[in-house]
Amino acid sequence: MVQAKKQLTEPETPAIFDLNNYLKQQQIIVEQALDQSIAIARPEKIYEAMRYSLLAGGKRLRPILCLATCDLMGGTQAMAMPTACALEMIHTMSLIHDDLPAMDNDDFRRGKPTNHKVYGDDIAILAGDGLLAYAFEYVATQTNNVAPENIIRVVAALGHTVGAAGLVGGQVLDLESEGKLDITAETLSFIHTHKTGALLEASVVCGAILANAESEDIARLSRYAQNIGLAFQIIDDILDITATDEQLGKTAGKDLQAQKATYPSLWGLEKSRLKAQELVDSAIAELSNYGIQAEPLRAIANYIVTRDR
Ligand code: FPP
Ligand code: MG
């Protein structure tokens, strides 16, 4: 049976929205759901490797965006939770592969040794593959009270997002651009909208689809997500220069070391900060139709430019 959507009339958000408290609460809920999503089975080593990276902490921004958007569009957290977990599985697998010696060759992630440092390159590749496959299985088998056609739309959106039209394509251009400090702002934008922006956009769009949102709402929310996605990456580039290893839980200064073109290398730190703020303002402007119930999405947009890790 397909569950009726919640009434949109009752504001459930307090007048002064406490983002820190909201993020903390949502992180706890997401951590529990992720912990329950994968049980150890035989062969234990691969499940341990998958769980090692999936449960290593992190901001859980993608699941939280998915849950918040589903809620805003009148759905429930339960409807969106399997997709929220799948988004984190996909994000985690992309980081495991990104950290491999054949890619960015990183030793630390989320404050812990990277997956291949603990389990070896072979198991790390397979842990990424296992997480990616399981993400799709998890959405298809665990989503309840959502119309089957909307579950199929979510699976299709996720597939599009991770493939050559999304993360994979962005990563390829990112690798090809290493050592080329003269790449254009247009190429840099392509890399970031695909490598980082696409999954953030899918997090929001999938949350809306699961709540059976209208196409105009999905288009508006997509634009919100595209803006915060690019702002997120600009701030990431800035933090790579200004933050410490401890703050980031990974090696800082890697972009300079790998001679990667970044927004600060193109525009300088100050202009990059201004550009990120402009993007967040545009994202928030897309939410003007929604009133107080969109406070979580507004607050998350603001958090993206003020975060220090
Ligand atoms: C981190 O970027 C990496 C990503 C955001 C995604 C990388 C994508 C892949 C490895 C493709 C994965 C394959 C599939 C099938 C999804 P970064 O290196 O700029 O940031 P970092 O400093 O956190 O490593
Ligand atoms: Mg990297």
Alpha carbon of 146 to ligand 1 centroid (Å): 30
Q: What is the mean pLDDT of residues 257-269?
A: 87
**68: domain CATH number?**
1.10.600.10
Dihedral angle computed from the Cα positions of residues 305, 72, 86 and 162, in that order, rounded to the nearest 10 degrees: -60
33-37, 92-96, 178-182, 183-187: lowest mean pLDDT where? 178-182
41 falls within a domain = yes
Ligand 1 atom nearest the C-alpha of 170 is 8
Pocket of ligand 1 contains residue 254 by CB under 6 Å: yes
Pocket of ligand 1 contains residue 195 by CB under 6 Å: yes
Alpha carbon of 289 to ligand 1 centroid (Å): 34
Does 308 or 214 have the greater pLDDT score? 214
189 falls within a domain = yes
- Long-range Cβ contact pairs of 182-189 (< 8 A, separation 24 or more): 182/261, 183/261, 185/266, 187/261, 188/261, 188/262, 188/263, 188/266, 189/230
- Kindly tell me if the per-residue pLDDT of 130 is higher than 90: yes
Domains: count for the chain: 1
64 falls within a domain = yes
10-19, 104-113, 200-209, 263-272: lowest mean pLDDT where? 10-19
- Kindly tell me if the per-residue pLDDT of 11 is higher than 60: no
Q: Which ligand is nearest to the CA of 96?
A: 1
**CA 192 – CA 188 distance, rounded (Å):** 6
Pocket of ligand 1 contains residue 168 by CB under 6 Å: yes
Q: Which ligand is nearest to the CA of 196?
A: 1
Question: Are the C-beta atoms of 150 and 169 separated by less than 8 Å?
Answer: no
- Kindly tell me if the per-residue pLDDT of 16 is higher than 80: no
Question: Are the C-beta atoms of 71 and 77 separated by less than 8 Å?
Answer: yes
Average per-residue pLDDT for the chain:
93
pLDDT of residue 1: 42
Question: Are the C-beta atoms of 238 and 211 separated by less than 8 Å?
Answer: no
pLDDT band at 4 (very low <50, low <70, confident <90, very high): very low
* Prediction pTM value: 0.93
Q: What is the mean pLDDT of residues 69-74?
A: 98
**CA 154 – CA 150 distance, rounded (Å):** 6
User: Which domain range does residue 80 map to?
Assistant: 19-306
For a mutational test of ligand 1's pocket, the pick from 62, 93, 98, i.e. the residue with the most ligand atoms closer than 8 A to its C-beta, is 98
222 falls within a domain = yes
Pocket of ligand 1 contains residue 110 by CB under 6 Å: no
8 falls within a domain = no
208 falls within a domain = yes
DSSP letter at 76 equals -
Residues lining ligand 2 (ion), CB within 5 A? 98, 104
Alpha carbon of 106 to ligand 2 centroid (Å): 7
pLDDT of residue 15: 58
Alpha carbon of 286 to ligand 2 centroid (Å): 31
* Alpha carbon distances (Å) from 79 to 145, 191, 209: 6, 32, 10
Residue 11, CB-side half-sphere exposure with 13 Å CA sphere: 12
pLDDT tens-digit series, residues 141-191? 999 999 999 999 999 999 999 999 999 999 999 999 988 878 898 999 999
Alpha carbon of 175 to ligand 2 centroid (Å): 10
Does 47 or 262 have the greater pLDDT score? 47
pLDDT band at 6 (very low <50, low <70, confident <90, very high): low
10 falls within a domain = no
Structure tokens at 298: 């507004």
Q: What is the mean pLDDT of residues 230-240?
A: 93
Closest among 237, 232, 238 to 303, alpha carbons compared: 232
33 falls within a domain = yes
Q: Which ligand is nearest to the CA of 59?
A: 1
